[in-house]
Amino acid sequence: MKFFKYHALGNDYVVIDPKDVPAPLTQAQIRAICHRNFGVGSDGLLLGPLSSERARFALRIFNPDGSEAEKSGNGLRIFSRYLWDRQLVRDEQFTIDTPGGVVQSRVLDGGRA
């Protein structure tokens, strides 16, 4: 499985594009990926980009126990940088749809979110 790991302000997240997984991830798989001793180790998992009718991108955010979160400030910061790094966005501002609502993201200084 292809993934990326990013750090932001004391948090680290694994970012996975849903196109890179053959089937939806289970809670057990997310727990295993996030496990610090036996997996990649992270504060959570970000699954995206997904399509959305409400925003330019959609994102699912998972806690290390496999439960889904509504929002994560550092998770959104990381996902914004991921989109920039993968050249999926070049606009200074764009929207991200999360379970907690649509968030306006802004990229500064060539990629700093």
- Cα–Cα distance list, 80 to 41, 58, 61, 86, 93 (Å): 21, 11, 13, 10, 10
- Rounded to two decimals, the pTM is 0.93
Residue 112 forms part of a structural domain? no
Residue 46 forms part of a structural domain? yes
Residue 27 forms part of a structural domain? yes
Question: Rounded to an integer, what distance in angstroms lies between the CA atom of residue 81 and that of residue 111?
Answer: 6
Domain span including residue 55:
4-106
Residue 113 forms part of a structural domain? no
Domain count for the chain: 1
Closest CA to 40 of 13, 18, 19, 9: 13
What is the chain's pLDDT, residue by residue, as a tens digit (113 residues)? Answer: 899 999 999 999 999 999 999 999 999 999 999 999 999 999 999 999 999 999 999 999 999 999 999 999 999 999 999 999 999 998 889 999 999 999 999 988 766 66
Question: Rounded to an integer, what distance in angstroms lies between the CA atom of residue 82 and that of residue 96?
Answer: 13
